[in-house]
Amino acid sequence: MILLHEIDSFFIEVSEAISSKHLHDFLHSNLMLKGISLDASSAIFYSYLASCQQYFIAHFHLENEPCFIEPQLLKFYYFEQTKVENQIDLFILENCFVVYENQELLLFKPIQQKVSAEQIQHFIQKSLHLSVDNCIEVHPQQVKIFQQQFEANLDYIKPLSYLKNNHYKELKRFLAVCFACLLTVILALGYEIFFDKKIKQPIVQKSVYPQKALKSVKIADVIERINYYKLQVTTIDFHNELLFLTLKHTQKSHLIEFLTHYQAEVKRLKYNTQERVYELSASFSLL
């Protein structure tokens, strides 16, 4: 089981739900912007909160299947209970709070300091626009009981649904194809020089760079430059092969220099007098 302290989680605002076509790129780029390293063992759990137009994103490293994470222990609360449609339950533990909707895991958040149940409910209602139907405080002893039930019923528990980090494999596959093509050209040229005669230009089969890998490289390049110029990302969105960004910085020149590297369409560039920063909204082609 993946423990809570082994999971990185956060919320990100969007203008609307991301299409399934761009969802993986959206999650991947937001994790990179948070400085979270991704590899072949990376797994991503997410949920879209239509009430506040936010995504809850959780990242962890999964070495073995099946996948279970600590907040799933609360699933045992529903044993022998009748399911109520659209019911939202808030569980408050010693180190975190967990929200279930329709008896399915929706989101969770670690508690860094001691807060009351009222404060947590206030955060959920004001920040996430969720109306809690039941608030359940789960004491450490009850958590231990859930852990025992989990271990005894492991074969009957539905594993967590998650996304794998496919970009890592795609990039490795692309680099392997590039290396093979380069090696073919080198061997062909070497043959021509060695035998001192002209041969026909070697026909190298054109490799089609997978669309997802291409997008990943472009996104990684954008993120690298965002970090280089120390820009603050306010929003990030994907639509029709376009990446939409809203960036902030105290110096306008940093935003302009960032834009000059890309053929970006500037949507808005203004000075926020309240925050004393420049705000830039622009779109970038992912192809």
> pLDDT tens digits for 13-23?
988 898 888 88
Q: Band the pLDDT of 193: cuts 50, 70, 90.
A: low
Start-to-end CA distance of the chain, whole Å, equals: 39
Q: Which residue has the tokens 């290396």?
A: 179
Q: Band the pLDDT of 183: cuts 50, 70, 90.
A: low
**Residue 177 reports pLDDT greater than 70:** no
State the Cα–Cα distance between residues 106 and 99, nearest whole angstrom: 6
| Percent of the chain surpassing pLDDT 90 | 33
State the Cα–Cα distance between residues 263 and 250, nearest whole angstrom: 23
Q: Residue 72, Cβ neighbours under 10 Å: how many?
A: 20
Q: Check if the beta carbon of residue 49 is closer than 8 Å to that of residue 128.
A: yes
State the Cα–Cα distance between residues 238 and 286, nearest whole angstrom: 9
pLDDT at 243: 79
pLDDT by residue (tens digit) across 114-129? 899 999 999 999 999 9
User: Which residues pair with residue 285 across a beta bridge?
Assistant: 242
Q: Residue 213, Cβ neighbours under 10 Å: how many?
A: 18
Q: Band the pLDDT of 275: cuts 50, 70, 90.
A: confident
Q: Residue 193, Cβ neighbours under 10 Å: how many?
A: 8
Question: Which one is predicted more confidently, 173 or 122?
Answer: 122
List C-alpha distances in Å: 196 to 190, 200, 202, 214, 279: 10, 13, 16, 39, 62
Q: Which residue has the tokens 């040229």?
A: 189
State the Cα–Cα distance between residues 242 and 22, nearest whole angstrom: 10
List C-alpha distances in Å: 75 to 90, 103, 173, 198, 234: 12, 7, 39, 72, 35
Q: CB-based contacts of 257: which residues, under 8 Å, 6+ apart?
A: 229
Q: CB-based contacts of 210: which residues, under 8 Å, 6+ apart?
A: 170, 173, 174
169: tokens are: 């494999």
pLDDT at 216: 60
Overall size of the chain counted in residues? 287
pLDDT at 189: 55
- Domain ranges for the chain: 4-164, 229-285
pLDDT by residue (tens digit) across 200-229? 444 444 444 444 555 566 677 777 788 888
**Residue 276 reports pLDDT greater than 90:** no
